[in-house]
Structure 1
């Protein structure tokens, strides 16, 4: 099931995180892919939005965690889309590297995420700071994972924030719980730096908590100011 936040932006609630579908001009974009058991939720959500998985042109991956890339391999027989991820996290997805073992989250990633995430049979392209994918600009926001990315479309007024922050029911943004950040200090620095350099956006799509249909940049600036 999906719900339309604003015209052309749909949210799909998975078992452990939210996924999103965005109409970027004539292209359809899937944002993150939940846990492996969310494949059916994604199929249904895309269908509710009036499309099929074959209509998806690309997949934007904010970071490598089991609740953000888990269902890709269970959809790759229906998807004909290119996956865009950071070089750091994307090479874990392709099996070209293993996550480091330093820190509690790294251990969790290696011994929980990696065994549960199958390698998708999809083209994976690596992107970084300043690259563009459709109308979305790429921003490197390390901390939650070493290769965490955010994407912002100035034209659409949409920010895809992954697990950089989480949403609250009162329309604010908060940090994710400390235990889930791989490097808490770097994650805080990324919040402040991203707030400074990202173009304004209204819609904020996060993996956890309530997405914002309006006021995204303002909410991000408020959080960054509290961290200063």
Structure 2
């Protein structure tokens, strides 16, 4: 269930979705939180690494979707901060409901009653912001507020659902799961152009890549 991807970066293989733990300097950082029913798996993974939920300093959320924020409401208050892209942050905090007039928003609206607002504050992030060693890249398309987090010093990129691993290569988020696939493609191209080189490509679904992550992203951008 818990796999080390590189020094200080671990993959939590939950039920069809991924979460990650990062030792970013002295800050213990969780990336995404799975569905509500993954709570025990999440806590078990932390325990396996010698941590409890209260040891977390922050949570980086790639986007608002049931399978990425569901576990937040099950975490006890850890006196840290939850970070998310500005358009998705009020959804995660429970301050706004998803828009139901699109196929993506409708699916989010249906699952919203299964979510609980997190106990810790949610801070909105904009493109170019930094959190610890991570630079924030606004990558809309899968959701309006989708962001990716890239750490040059750790050589890791958390790509959320902008892409997924399929058959040993990266693929773009498909129409059925995205708000706007034109934006998905544009975000992939922009991230491939602007982000520094990184080895580990850690996405929300599929098996993360430990090597040549930025090269794989550029190859996907060239195929689009």
TM-score, normalised relative to structure 1: 0.95
Q: What SS is found at the alignment partner of 2:16? A: coil
**SS of equivalent to 1:193:** helix
Deviations for 1:1-56, whole angstroms, at most 9, x for unmatched residues? Answer: 31111111111111231000011011111000000001111111111122222221
Contact 1:136 1:153 (C-alpha < 8 Å) held by counterparts: yes
What residue in structure 2 maps to residue 115 of structure 1? Answer: 113
Task: Measure the CA separation in 1 of the matches of 2:93 and 2:56.
Answer: 20
The aligned residue for residue 104 of structure 1 is: 103
Shift in Å, 1:169:
4.8
Q: Could you tell me which residue of structure 1 aligns to residue 144 of structure 2?
A: 146
Which deviations, in whole Å up to 9, do the C-alpha atoms of 1:74-119 show, x marking residues without a partner?
Answer: 1124x3321001111110111222222232111001122x111111
1:37 matched to 2:34? The reply is: no
Matched, 1:179 2:188: no
Partner residue in 1 for 2:52: 52
Q: Does structure 1 conserve the Cα–Cα contact (< 8 Å) formed by 2:173 and 2:184?
A: no
TM-score using structure 2 length: 0.96
Which of 196, 200, 203 aligns to 2:193? It is: 196
Write the distance in 2 (CA, Å) between the matches of 1:81 and 1:214: 31
Match of residue 80 from structure 2 = 81
Deviations 1:136-176 (A, max 9, x none): 00000000001000000011111010000012353x21113
Preserved contact between residue 169 and residue 210 of structure 1 (Cα < 8 Å)? no
Who is 1:64 aligned against? 64
Match status 1:17 vs 2:14: no
Structure-2 separation of matches of 1:46 and 1:85: 21
Q: Distance in 1 between matches of 2:101 and 2:217?
A: 29
Q: Unaligned stretches of 5+ in structure 1?
A: none
Deviations 1:59-84 (A, max 9, x none): 0000000000001111124x332100
Worse-matched range after superposition: 6-15 or 130-139: 6-15
Q: Name segments (4+ residues, structure 1) moved above 3 Å.
A: none
- CA offsets per residue over residues 199-222 of structure 1, 9 Å max, x none? 111111111011011110000000
Aligned-residue RMSD, C-alpha: 1.2
